[in-house]
Amino acid sequence: MTGPAAGAPDPLADALIAAQLCAADPGLGGIALRGGGALRDAVIAALRSHLPADAPLRRVPVHVDDDRLFGGLDLVATLAQARAVQRAGLLVEAAGGVLVLAMADRLSDAVAGRIVAAMDGGGVGRALVVALDDGDGPDEGPPAALLERLAFRIDLHDAKPAGAMRGGEDFGDAGTPQTPDAVLATLVATAAALGIETARAPLFALRAARAAARCAGRDVISDEDLMLAARLVIAPRATRLPAEQPDDAPPPPEPQPPDAPPPDAGDRDQPEGETRPLDDVVLEAALAALPKDVLAQIAAGGVRRGRTRASRGAGERRRSPARGRPVGVRPGVPGGGQRLSLIDTLRAAAPWQRLRRTADSASRVLVRRDDLRIRRFETRAESVTIFVVDASGSASLSRLAEAKGAVELLLADSYVQRAQVALIAFRGSGATVLLPPTRSLARARRSLAELPGGGGTPLAAGLRAAIDVADAARARGQTPFVVLLTDGRANIAADGRAVRSVAAADASAAAAALGRAGIAAAFLDISARPGPEGAALAAAMQARYLPLPRADAVRMHAAVRAVQPA
């Protein structure tokens, strides 16, 4: 990542200013901090310094238990008092202070959704949220719903420690500044020009401008406050560059009669740009805050918007008796690896204690079989991406090379996500499993590089081999995903005969068998002129059909990524 452009404010200084604005107006929600390491502690400390001395600070670990986060039964107090005693969760404990979400990029959507619901409903008690984002790639980051409710998003990767000396000054505290009529319209226009569709961005920017004016002791929001709000709130949310405006040449001056007086010299001396529209000034301030690499990402459509679904490479969700992420409890008796949830068991038993007690059991908690609760867990099965590549003569050498390039890019993705990959090639009279499911990227690349081309198209054999590999993966508890790269024109039957009509029927039967098996798949038609054969086979497979007649390896890779199951 390139550093800030010359003259651009230091990210740490911006983070310190954002902390000050959040303390002035908790309605700003908080800050999302990406990277920065120890510098993030300086921002949190600065935020605390602007809050009352008794303001709480609570840190939420990534694998926090629901009872600790949202409150639950206090086991010690319940046993001591023989009645249900509730304990406040971290959300309540952080009221009026700071709630730090560690590793927010790994926060589950379920937990993020409940935090967001608490923020929207006031259940966080106006606690300021600081989301620590340790993600690296553009697709990594906190859940989008959480980012949407935090006014500030600041990347500290290029921050300078010396910036900690700036932005932490204490300013005066005036009343609520007046808001000129044009302010909100200007912020809305700036957000629209940068492709921001949500209404929260200009509303957050308005709050930030008011807070900045108040901290500076101003009675009215100034242009400086607007530019600061645009830089800190609107610029990080930009998804596109503003549309180019046509340069309309001014009309030529009308000819003047000879006796007309010359133009006023004062008009000639008036500097250009003195009456520039406020919208343009604020928009330029927002654009100036964006580093060059971010501008390039926006221009290419690759700007990060936050995590909107689970990371690719994970398999389907499955219930597990003893491992994985807790997803609640159910009535039941421990056994077979299932674990008792003691707190939930006591919670179920507590309301019945008065009815169950006798003189001999006045000081004990009486638990019945119906009170027992078993923890439920959820795990994600490991995924296996099975590449089935047409290496026959009908696939031209150039198209086969592009297909190899796309497969290699997808192999690299699978390696990064710690998912397994398998490689099947079909040509001549049959199909060969060149690579059983593995995580070895080097081995996969070697198998792909050694893949020859030429011969007949035994498509049915390739599909049957894919079904066999997928069934074996399922037997191991994995989730298979088949990526078929072919032109769909089979000419070798399942029994090895070179009869085109029989080969087409066998291929259709194999495709239907794969579809009935419920195996997720994508069909990449790599023919230079896609015909109906590929679409028909994709329909039989119940797969996504992607005709890519002129696509290169990068576009093939992007197409598969778009349809790959989460």
Could you read off the pLDDT of 541-566 as tens digits, one per residue? 999 888 877 666 777 777 777 766 65
Q: How confident is the model at residue 496 (pLDDT cuts 50, 70, 90)?
A: confident
Tell me if 195 sits within 8 A of 154, measured CB to CB: no
In the predicted structure, residue 475 carries a pLDDT above the cut 60? yes
In the predicted structure, residue 468 carries a pLDDT above the cut 90? yes
In the predicted structure, residue 401 carries a pLDDT above the cut 50? yes
Summarize the confidence of residues 330-348 as an average pLDDT.
79
Quickly count helices (H) and strands (E) in the chain: 21, 15
How much is the pLDDT for 268?
Answer: 43
pLDDT in tens, 8-63: 568 888 899 999 999 999 999 999 998 877 889 899 999 999 999 889 999 988 77
Distance of alpha carbon 441 from alpha carbon 416, whole angstroms: 10
How much is the pLDDT for 469?
Answer: 93
98 or 80: whose pLDDT is higher? 98
How much is the pLDDT for 168?
Answer: 44
Q: How confident is the model at residue 270 (pLDDT cuts 50, 70, 90)?
A: very low
Residues 6+ apart with CB under 8 A from 169: none
Q: Quote the strand ranges of 215-323, DSSP E.
A: 314-320
Distance of alpha carbon 19 from alpha carbon 31, whole angstroms: 8
Per DSSP bridges, beta strands 86-87 and 420-427 are unpaired
pLDDT in tens, 279-309: 665 556 555 555 545 444 544 444 444 554 4
In the predicted structure, residue 193 carries a pLDDT above the cut 70? yes
How much is the pLDDT for 486?
Answer: 87
Distance of alpha carbon 394 from alpha carbon 550, whole angstroms: 16
Distance of alpha carbon 55 from alpha carbon 127, whole angstroms: 9
71: β partners: none
How much is the pLDDT for 166?
Answer: 44
How much is the pLDDT for 445?
Answer: 74
- In total, the chain counts a number of residues equal to 566
How much is the pLDDT for 306?
Answer: 53
534 or 450: whose pLDDT is higher? 534
How much is the pLDDT for 349?
Answer: 85
Residues 6+ apart with CB under 8 A from 214: 24, 173, 174, 175, 176, 177
47 or 435: whose pLDDT is higher? 47
How much is the pLDDT for 334?
Answer: 78
282 or 273: whose pLDDT is higher? 282
Distance of alpha carbon 2 from alpha carbon 189, whole angstroms: 29
pTM recorded for the entire structure: 0.53
Q: How confident is the model at residue 2 (pLDDT cuts 50, 70, 90)?
A: very low
- Least Cα distance to 12 among 37, 31, 48, 40 occurs for 40
How much is the pLDDT for 309?
Answer: 42
Amino acid letter for position 423: L
pLDDT in tens, 223-256: 888 888 888 998 888 877 766 554 444 554 454 5
pLDDT in tens, 131-179: 998 876 656 788 888 999 999 999 887 777 754 444 444 444 556 777 7
Q: How confident is the model at residue 502 (pLDDT cuts 50, 70, 90)?
A: very high
How much is the pLDDT for 414?
Answer: 67
Distance of alpha carbon 501 from alpha carbon 490, whole angstroms: 9
The 10 Å CB-count burial string (b at 16+, else e) for 524-560 is bbbbeebeebbebbbebbbbbbbbbeebebeebbebb
Tell me if 242 sits within 8 A of 230, measured CB to CB: no
Summarize the confidence of residues 245-274 as an average pLDDT.
47
Q: How confident is the model at residue 266 (pLDDT cuts 50, 70, 90)?
A: very low
> Structural domains in the chain?
11-169+180-237 (3.40.50.300), 326-379 (no CATH), 383-563 (3.40.50.410)
State the average pLDDT for the chain.
76
